[in-house]
Each structure stands twice: as C-alpha cells, then as structure tokens.
Amino acid sequence: MLPMMLVLAILLPLVAAIGCYFLRVSAIRSLIVLCTGACLAAVSLALLGQGSFTYSPGTILGISWDSLVTLADFALLFVMLYYAFKLKNQLIKVFVILQIIPLAAFELFIVDHAAEVPAIFADSLSLIMVAVISVIGSLICFFAIPYMKEHEEHLHLVKSRQPQFFFFLVLFLGAMNGLVLSNNILWLYFFFEVTTFCSFMLIGHDQTEIAVKNATRALWMNALGGVCFVFGMIWAYAETGSLDLQVIIQSGSMGGAMLIPLGLLCLAGFTKAAQLPFQSWLLGAMVAPTPVSALLHSSTMVKAGVYIVLRLAPAYAGTFLSQGIALCGAFTFLACAAIAISQSNGKKILAYSTISNLGLIICCAGINTAWSITAAIILIIFHAASKALLFLCVGTIEHGIGSRDLEDMHGLYLKMPRTAIITIVGVLTMLLPPFGVLLGKWMAIESASGDMFVITMLALGSALSLVFWARWAGILLTAPLREKVPAESQSILTRLSLTALAGIAVVLSLFSPGIYTKLIEPMVGKTYEITAGVFSSPVGVFAVYPIFMILAAAFIYSWIETKKSVNVQNSQSYMCGANVKEPNVQAFIGPMNVPVDLKASNYYMKEFFGEEKLTLWVNFAALALIVLMLGGAL
C-alpha cells in the first residue's frame, strides 16, 4: 500500500502533466486536473495518518531508480543549458556548467553507487509538507481552470497555451512531494532543480518581454542556488561518506568541517526562498498568471527553500552558523515588512510579506530550540493557506475590477461581496489571534527571548506587518450602507477554491493544539528538549478557544448592529467648503468657486519605506550578514 501511495504522490502528477499537454481538449484537461488534485489530497492525508517511515524502491525493467534519477538530472541540466544559450544569458550558462561538471565527476569517480541508501524518509515535517503541497496546491490548480480561460481572453490569444501551463503547474506538485520525501541527497538535488525549471517556465508563460526577463532572472538566481547545493552536497559526502540525508544531519551535529557544506546547502535554501538579497526573482514572478504566484509563494517553490534550512537545523544547532541563519532570517523579516508598507499593489504587498514570513521561518530554524522549530512548522502550515487564499483573491479582484491596487478596492463589497468577505477573512487570518500565523509569530518571538538583536528585529517586523494588513482590511471594510447588494457571479471552481482555503485557514487554527500534540511535539521531542510554552494547558497559554469564542461573539454582534443601521439616514462629510449638491458626486466648492473632486487615499510613507530607497541598502546589509554567516562557518 505504501509504495502505491508514494507513486501517486510523486509520479501521478508527472503522468497527469503529460496528459494535460497531449490531450488538448479543455474538458479532458480539466477532468485530469480535478482527478489528480483530489487523488493527491487524499493520498497526502493517508500518508499523514500512516506516520514516519523509510522506503527504498526496487528496480524498473532492471534499472535502479537511482540511475534513472541521475539520467533525468543530467537531462534537465542540459535542457537548462539549452535555454541559457537561447536566452543568451552568460550567468545561466556559467551556473549550469558549474553544476554539470562537478556533478559528473562526483557521479563517475567519487560516489559509491553500491552503498544502500534509503531513497525516501518521512517524518512529521515531511508529511505535513506533503499535505500542504497536495491539498493547497491542488486547490490552486482547481482555481486555475476557470482563471486561465479568462486570462487568455484578456490577452486575446489565438492559440491557447494552457496545455503547457497545466503541464508545469501539475508537475510542480509531484516535484515538491518528491523533494520533501527524499532522503538520498542526489534525489533531493534533482527535485530541487525540477522546481527551478518549472518556476522558470511558469513565470515566462505569457511570453511578454517583461515575463521573459523576470523568468530569466529567476532561472539564474536559482541556478546559483543549484551551484551552492552541488558543492555543499559533494563536500558533505567527502566528510561523511554517505548520500543519506539523515546520516549527514547526524554528522553535522558534531560541528567542525561539516559546517561549511551545511552553510552552502542553507545558502541554496536562501536563494530558493528568495531571501535578501535574492528577493528580486520572486518579486518578478508577479508578472505570471495569479495561480503561478499563489503556487510559488504559498505551498511549493519558496517552501522548498525553508524546508531545506529547517530539515538541516539539528545538524548546525548551537553553532555560529545557526546564529548567522537566525540573524539573516530576522533581518529579511524586518526589511521586507518595512518595504511592504510603502506598496499599494496588492500582489507586491503579498510578495514582500511572503519573503518576510519566509525570513521568520528561517530565523526560527536558526534560533534552533524546541519552540522555534515548532513555530516554524506552525508558520509553514498556516502561512501557506492564508497566502494562497489572498493571492487567489487578488487575482479574482483584478479580473473583476481591472486593478490590483488597494486604492481601487474601496467599496469592493458593493461590487464583489463574496470575494470581499473572503479576502477580509484571509487578511484577518494573517493579522489576528488566535489564527495560526500570529500564533507562529508569538512562539517565534518567545523563543528569541535570549537574543537581543533577533528579538528586536522580530518585534519591529511584527509591528510593521500590522500596519499593511490592518490598512488592507480597513480599505475592504469601507463601503456605504445599502439595503441590497448585487449578487456576485463566480464560477463553481473559483468559489470552491476560495471557500475551501478560507475554511482551512480558520478551521485548522481551531485544531492548532491538536496539530502540535499529535504531529509536531513527537518529532521535535526526538531532537530538542520540550519545555512548557504556548500549548502548556488544554486551552493553551495562547487561549485559542476562548479567543475564538470572543471573536465569534464580536462577529455576531457586529452583524446584528450592521443590519440595524441599513436604514439610518446618512449625510455627506464636510469637505473644506460647500458640498456640491449633485447625486453620486463627491466634491466641494473650492477657491474661485471651482468644484474640487474629493480624493481619499492612504498614506504609504514612501519617503521612509519606499522600495527604491531601501532595496540597495537592505541588499547590501543582507549580503554582509550572509558573508558573516559563512565566514563564521569557515
């Protein structure tokens, strides 16, 4: 039964992707995506219920799976090299060649292929990741079915590119499942590179000049991460004599020379997770269709980076490398939260907040205590649900009103009531207790209490995050009262995806104490000493259930009072002069008796937190911290 579930989790998406590409009938492609998503979600939950395991596959037609992975790895690298020449990009050429040559030497002359290495290893972290990838990723794929139809109508395409789009979108899910389940580090590297190539193809999907430019940047930056991975992998093998990731982690706990390859592997994770100064590739990914943004930012690509750093955490615990990782993550969390304040573009706010929260997860890995690791896993789960929801909401809003700017979302409830309510739910799950994201931040700050620099950056970053989330929620809630709001037309799959993700973000928060006690505590307890903390009582120090009851009561009270106020007579605000008395006109008589239109806007503090003002300096500071981190390891 286990082999079949693993085949479905990793290889089914490949088969489905091929079907999406070659069976070019829209209804058949939609059916393939729906069936694959449902199957992946069911299998991921079944694996989660199964618990920890290791597994080594046999052979296929007399050929070992290790050999097939090796062949596929080199084939993929040469495909990437082909695109490097096609794009005439020297950086990609150099970085891909710097992977091919050392990897070939490693495979041919160094690795002992006769050694037995379990290809698959799963514990709670891996299985939680599989569930996040499969459930949330599948809902994003469902959303993409009607979305891409509208997207291509807006582009006025003569020939649909959906077969290629869904090929890479669905393949992405299998690659990520393979990555988080891999125990053989060569397998991990292969799936790492598959995600790099898939992201490159998806970001450049629309084939516009800006899309190709940003896809190229994503490819060379992640290829740089691939170089770090190859050299870190070879060095780790030289120190341990094993490709077994668990052996490498245990050897790393002794410190010494193992810190250098661990530092290189973590740097590969930094590039994949778009940490400063590598954030520009993920910001550029915003040009891609919304399902791509949601998939990259929530449940797949960037989570591969934080997974690697978090997986290796026991190996570098108590070292200078660990302290350096905590500082780098905390700085990214603070800097990107600051830049997000100056943004009015909904996608850019989500992009910067994603990079910021990934920095927080990496910081937790660097703090490297039981509570910080717990916080990191909690954040992975809840950030994925809330951020996927918000990206899909922004995409829906953009199709509905033709803009993703926050200032154009005033009174959204009167135009798109269902989407507006779901978007508010998504924002509140990022903002308020007792939802999981704030719970994770709470635990992270609590775990950093012994480090003045880290805890200061985490506290400031959390405060800055409050500003842009509260502003967004406030904008969505501003709408004049009306007795009747027009119904919103929405496809079934769009409604299903948005409603399901909103439900996951809220309902999982209700079960957060159970998630901790059943899944996280047993795994963390094997490596770290568990002490009393957030969940030290049935309701928890965080008081999950009492706060939920207070929120529910407040919501019911607000709803009743709002219904009562529908018939209240409203009057226009005083606007520095006599109001223009015309229906549906908001203006006042200004100087020289000339009507002046009312324009209300939020303050984005661009003179303090503007992207163009901070980016250069924060990148320089982040690079200095990375040099310090790796220098300490040396």
pLDDT tens, position by position, 256-272:
788 999 999 999 999 99
The pLDDT of residue 580: 76
Which positions ≥6 away from 168 have C-beta within 8 Å?
Answer: 17, 198, 201, 202
Kindly give the pairing relationship between strand 53-55 and strand 120-122.
antiparallel
Mean pLDDT of the 347-373 span = 94
The pLDDT of residue 568: 63
Alpha helices in 478-577 (DSSP H): 492-510, 512-515, 521-524, 544-564
Would you say 41 and 134 are in contact if contact means Cβ atoms under 8 Å apart? Answer: yes
Q: Among 355-369, 480-494, 520-534, which stretch is predicted with the lowest mean pLDDT?
A: 520-534
**pLDDT over 50 (residue 121):** yes
The pLDDT of residue 498: 96
Grouping H, G, I as helix, E, B as strand and the rest as coil, residue 127 is helix
Give the angle 534-518-43 at the CA atoms, nearest 5°: 130
Compute the mean pLDDT over every residue in the chain, rounded to the nearest whole number. Answer: 90
Give the whole-angstrom CA distance, residue 511 versus residue 110.
48
Q: Among 343-347, 393-397, 510-514, which stretch is predicted with the lowest mean pLDDT?
A: 510-514
Q: Among 61-75, 90-104, 118-132, 563-577, which stretch is predicted with the lowest mean pLDDT?
A: 563-577
Instruction: Tell me the pLDDT tens digit for each residue of 94-111.
Output: 999 999 999 999 999 999
The pLDDT of residue 95: 98
| Cα-based distances in Å from 347 to 288, 406, 518 | 11, 10, 35
The pLDDT of residue 561: 77
Measured over the CA atoms of residue 388, residue 391, residue 397 and residue 398, the dihedral's sign is negative
**pLDDT over 60 (residue 466):** yes
Give the whole-angstrom CA distance, residue 468 versus residue 342.
9
The pLDDT of residue 488: 83
Would you say 334 and 351 are in contact if contact means Cβ atoms under 8 Å apart? Answer: no
Give the angle 462-544-522 at the CA atoms, nearest 5°: 90
Instruction: Tell me the pLDDT tens digit for each residue of 228-263.
Output: 999 999 999 999 999 999 999 988 776 678 899 999
Give the whole-angstrom CA distance, residue 466 versus residue 461.
9
Grouping H, G, I as helix, E, B as strand and the rest as coil, residue 598 is coil
The pLDDT of residue 530: 67
Q: Among 160-164, 272-276, 534-538, which stretch is predicted with the lowest mean pLDDT?
A: 534-538
Instruction: Tell me the pLDDT tens digit for each residue of 1-59.
Output: 898 999 999 999 999 999 999 998 999 999 999 999 999 999 999 999 888 999 999 88
Give the whole-angstrom CA distance, residue 197 versus residue 191.
10
Neighbours of 532 (CB within 10 A): 9
Instruction: Tell me the pLDDT tens digit for each residue of 414-425.
Output: 889 899 999 999
Instruction: Tell me the pLDDT tens digit for each residue of 513-527.
Output: 888 888 888 888 887
From the list 558, 270, 601, 597, the residue with the least C-alpha distance to 409 is 601
The pLDDT of residue 545: 75
Query: Of all residues in the chain, what percent carry a pLDDT higher than 90?
Result: 67
Give the whole-angstrom CA distance, residue 325 versus residue 450.
15
Give the whole-angstrom CA distance, residue 516 versus residue 520.
5
The pLDDT of residue 192: 96
Residue 419 identity (one-letter amino acid): T
Question: Who wins on pLDDT, 633 or 174?
Answer: 174
The pLDDT of residue 230: 98
pLDDT band at 477 (very low <50, low <70, confident <90, very high): confident
Length of the chain: 634
Give the whole-angstrom CA distance, residue 602 versus residue 431.
19
Would you say 180 and 63 are in contact if contact means Cβ atoms under 8 Å apart? Answer: no
Say if residue 593 is exposed, middle or buried (CB neighbours under 10 Å; 0-12, 13-18, 19+).
exposed
pLDDT band at 538 (very low <50, low <70, confident <90, very high): very low
Token output for 129: 């990741």
The pLDDT of residue 574: 65
Give the whole-angstrom CA distance, residue 15 versus residue 65.
17
Mean pLDDT of the 539-564 span = 74
Instruction: Tell me the pLDDT tens digit for each residue of 63-94.
Output: 899 999 999 999 999 999 999 999 999 999 99
CA 33 to chain centroid: 21
Give the whole-angstrom CA distance, residue 182 versus residue 55.
10
Residue 554 identity (one-letter amino acid): A
What's the predicted TM-score (pTM) here? 0.94
The pLDDT of residue 570: 61
Grouping H, G, I as helix, E, B as strand and the rest as coil, residue 385 is helix
The pLDDT of residue 515: 87
User: What phi and psi, each to the nearest 5 degrees, are found at residue 387?
Assistant: -70, -40
Give kind and range of the element (H or E) at residue 42.
helix 26-50
**pLDDT over 90 (residue 190):** yes
The pLDDT of residue 280: 94
